[in-house]
Amino acid sequence: MLQSWLPVPSDSDFSIHNLPFGIFSDERPARAGLAIGEWVVDLAAAYALNMFPHYPEAGSAFRKPVLNDLIALGRGFSEYVRKIVQAALCDRESALNQFSDHLLVPLKSVQMHMPLKVGNYTDFYSSEEHAFSVGQMFRPENPLFPNWKHLPVAYHGRASSIVVSGTPVPRPWGQTGQPGGVPAFKPTNALDYELELAFVIGKDSAIGRPVAVAEAEDYIFGLLLFNDWSARDIQRWEYQPLGPFTSKNFASSVSPWIVTWEALQHFRVPAPPQEPEPLPYLAHSPRQNFDLSLSVSIKPNNGEEFLVCKTHSRNIYWTAAQQIAHHTVTGCNLQPGDLLATGTISGREINQKGCLLEATLNGTQPVMLKNGVERRFLEDHDEVIMRGFGQKGDIRVGFGGLRGQVLPALHSFP
Amino acid sequence: MLQSWLPVPSDSDFSIHNLPFGIFSDERPARAGLAIGEWVVDLAAAYALNMFPHYPEAGSAFRKPVLNDLIALGRGFSEYVRKIVQAALCDRESALNQFSDHLLVPLKSVQMHMPLKVGNYTDFYSSEEHAFSVGQMFRPENPLFPNWKHLPVAYHGRASSIVVSGTPVPRPWGQTGQPGGVPAFKPTNALDYELELAFVIGKDSAIGRPVAVAEAEDYIFGLLLFNDWSARDIQRWEYQPLGPFTSKNFASSVSPWIVTWEALQHFRVPAPPQEPEPLPYLAHSPRQNFDLSLSVSIKPNNGEEFLVCKTHSRNIYWTAAQQIAHHTVTGCNLQPGDLLATGTISGREINQKGCLLEATLNGTQPVMLKNGVERRFLEDHDEVIMRGFGQKGDIRVGFGGLRGQVLPALHSFP
């Protein structure tokens, strides 16, 4: 069992087994760091002390305000960095301890930034419980479309508006359908969150060359916690026939820390069996998910925080490898910095639903926060807090949370 | 009337009024150029000769292998560059003439490259004739969805797989629905082109701040000719409920030359009236399109080329300004290098259809290329050639064509 000389609270997401990558700033500009307990390891400073002698090119990657260059150096590089820092954290004689005033920055004193410039963002629809219960609301006789069990349904989302945890999200204005046929234009009445995980692509694939499902996991750098904000009333009116557009492109939020592929390996579990069997290009064995505990809380304005969802990621129907194989099946290329999100992750029970659309049956059955305080959809000033972590024995690895507060809509429209 | 000392054929897309921007290479690396007649003006070399003294920062933008930095300098900058080159082309005493051996490179000797790194790509559905005739095939009782006349329907497309004219496109493999319910996996039998125009965004908008329709045109740097390759059989099976995905993400092709906003001004025409009147955030006056002649030809393997579509862009229902206002209505931000494509542009007549899906009524009525040679969808080795230009009196401004050849599918799937 690894033991650090740096005290790490036992319930910290940032154990010695995790060491996720992020971009932070203090009085100096934004740069790359690793989280450990209540500290950030300043990788640019560690590089200057010659802690990473095998990668002379790493210095410029560590000083960039996004992790894309670091990610593009490959998983071999990120493993190397984590191993060196892990060893240093376990060695009282290490330079990290000796120069800790210089190399360790308190987490509470830093500002976290968007960890990467997202190239392309794709949102899947891979939780069967989610697809089924949403489908049931709108097509009770036939909740899953005929394609759903044959391919991981997905759509291309908007990359430019992905923001880091802590960034407030104004309630959007938009068009909504009305009984008379003439649409209304007003701030959304059905603002929702979506609890998701997003895989960060770490490697280029060539255009015209599908990625084989057996090799697909090699393309994953790590994982983010992801909130795909949605305006349900706008979505309902606009989505036919080409899918959601302005109802989802106003913002998605990511955790500031990317948990690496290696740190996730402790939490592999078998994915649920698939019936019917998928086509050969989607068949792999063993099919595995990561078993992470996930939750969503709502914190009304200046109030306490209330748990509204407690679920996990072990039952996702389409694995990350299957998502990648399908994404590239016709020849689409992947690039480092792309995100592939799972889509809303839900369980069967009403308190396991990853969005309010499901948890409140489209606003008809409010969730109770406490006596007299309920929610059908999000209200102004609500803060949405998502958490995610894996725990296996004493090993805990997590994202450190993902927060975003709803701001009131613009007073009048431009 | 501007008159260049450099002979320009009267049917050239690259008149003195055009001067579009592109990225070219010869024995030296890729860099920025302007097209004139049968020549490229080497902007990096012209900069070195101090032709652009008011923008000392332009040198590095001209030497980049994509135009993004140049575009981000703003429309004031690109107008300045074009004005200086235009004046030099009309002045026999100019440095451009004096050092023409050094500054002018024959178009036929250069290789053209992808002109920009596309940040985000959005595809609209703004031609009423297209939306109506596609809708009619699949929903004859109700061809246009109720939202279509109230908002410019669109979806987010894939930016990574956008390629420059001349890049071949392999026939993709993919899933298609079958009568028994079990999908097939095979190369597409319904490969199609889509004739479109794509606006290049030249200016940042802030997240959470919708762009007012009256200011929306300020965000446009220029225009590309655009071919959104599509696999119709794959699209039909996958698109519900979140829109097209692998049927369109394998490739889109762009013209190598970006025609600037200023060069397009000669061709403004009133856009078709809208009934019902759109919501105020989409209302502007005068609503205008650009009147460009557009065509598609198919050139079977080593054969001659046959015209299969001749149409124009003056009747597009939703203007570029309306597309931008709607894209940002909920708060989505735009960034220099984003593309907003019109969607397939079609006219009413069967020979004005911008894709084969429409021209052949979903493959049921083949188009005749010549005696005995017909097409329902594209065949291997077919080259698709799109052209577009505006002509007003002697003023001609065009894209110089957009070509892409279909390659046979991979022999066996990875």
- In tens, the pLDDT along A9-34 reads 999 999 999 999 999 999 999 999 99
User: Yes or no: is domain B121-407 CATH 3.90.850.10?
Assistant: yes
pLDDT at B24: 98
Residue A320: φ, ψ to 5°: -55, -40
ipTM of the modeled complex = 0.97
Residue ranges for the known binding site of B for Mg(2+) are 228, 248, 252
Q: Express each pLDDT in A115-155 by its tens digit.
A: 999 999 999 999 999 999 999 998 999 899 999 999 999 99
DSSP string computed for B21-62: EEEEESSSPPEEEEEETTEEEEHHHHHHTTS-TT-TTHHHHH
Contact B414 A211 (CB under 8 A): yes
| A chain contacts of residue B278, beta-carbon cutoff 8 Å | none
Split at pLDDT 50, 70, 90, the class of A318 is: very high
CB contact under 8 A, A326 and B246: yes
Q: What is the pLDDT of residues A331-369, one digit of tens each?
A: 999 999 999 999 999 999 999 999 999 999 999 999 999
Cβ partners under 8 Å of residue B139, min gap 6: none
User: First and final CA of chain A: distance in angstroms?
Assistant: 59
Reported as a pLDDT band with limits 50, 70 and 90, residue A411 is confident
How far apart (Å, rounded) are the C-alpha atoms in residues B323 and B318? 7
Residue B199 confidence (pLDDT): 98
- Contact by Cβ (8 Å): B316, B289: yes
- What pLDDT score was predicted for residue A413? 79
DSSP string, B208-220: T-PPPGGGGGGGE
Q: Do the domains at B21-113 and B121-407 have one common CATH topology?
A: no
A13 is in an annotated binding site: no
Interface test mutation site (partner B, options A68, A132, A158, A245, max chain B beta carbons within 10 A): A245
Q: Per-10-residue mean pLDDT for chain B, 414 residues long?
A: 92 97 97 98 97 94 98 97 98 96 97 98 97 92 95 98 98 96 96 98 97 98 98 96 96 98 98 97 97 98 94 98 98 98 97 98 96 95 98 96 97 80
CB contact under 8 A, A250 and B332: yes
For position B302, what pLDDT does the model report?
A: 81
A237:B147 CB<8 A? yes
pLDDT at A1: 74
B312 catalytic per annotation: no
Tens of pLDDT, residue by residue over B2-61, are 899 999 999 999 999 999 999 999 999 999 999 999 999 999 999 999 999 999 989 999
Is A405 in a helix, a strand, or coil?
Answer: strand
Token pair 């049921």 is found at B364
Across the interface, whether the CB atoms of A251 and B331 are under 8 A apart is answered yes
Mutate which of B329, B406, B407 to test chain A, going by most A C-beta atoms within 10 A?
B329
Is-contact B391 B292, C-beta < 8 A? no
The token duo for A232 is 């349900």
| pLDDT tens per residue, range A53-110 | 999 989 999 999 999 999 999 999 999 999 999 999 999 999 999 999 999 999 999 9
Mean of the per-residue pLDDT values for chain B? Answer: 97
- What is the rounded CA–CA span in Å between residue B25 and residue B65? 9
- Which pLDDT belongs to residue A99? 95
Q: What's the average model confidence in pLDDT over A276-282?
A: 97
State yes or no: pLDDT of A387 exceeds 90.
Answer: yes
Going by pLDDT thresholds of 50, 70 and 90, the confidence category of residue A2 is confident
| Structure confidence at residue A43 (pLDDT) | 98
Instruction: Flag if B242 and A185 touch (Cβ within 8 Å).
Output: no
DSSP states of A222-281: EEEEEE--EEHHHHHHH-TTT---TTTTT-EEE-S-BEEHHHHGGGEEEPPP-SSPPPGG
* pLDDT value at residue B254: 98
What is the spatial distance between Cα B395 and Cα A268, in angstroms, rounded to a whole number?
65
Instruction: Give the bridge partners for A174, in sequence order.
Output: A186
Residue A180 has pLDDT above 80, yes or no: yes
Instruction: Kindly list the domain boundaries of chain A, sorted by start residue.
Output: 21-113, 121-407
Q: Are B205 and A158 in contact (CB under 8 A)?
A: no
Using a CB-CB cut-off of 8 Å, the residues of chain A touching B327 are 246, 249
Contacts of B177 in chain A (CB under 8 A): 146-147
3-state secondary structure of B350: helix
User: For the residues of A267-326, what is the DSSP string, one character each?
Assistant: GEEEPPP-SSPPPGGG--SS-EEE--EEEEEEE-TTS--EEEEEEESTT-SS-HHHHHHH
Average pLDDT for A210-223: 98
pLDDT of residue B93: 96
Mean pLDDT of chain A: 97
Q: Would the annotation count A344 as a binding residue?
A: yes
pLDDT of residue B403: 98
The correct answer on CATH 2.30.30.230 for the domain covering B21-113 is yes
Contact list in A for residue B146 (CB cut-off 8 A) is 177, 181
Chain A closest-CA separation from residue B119 CA (Å):
7
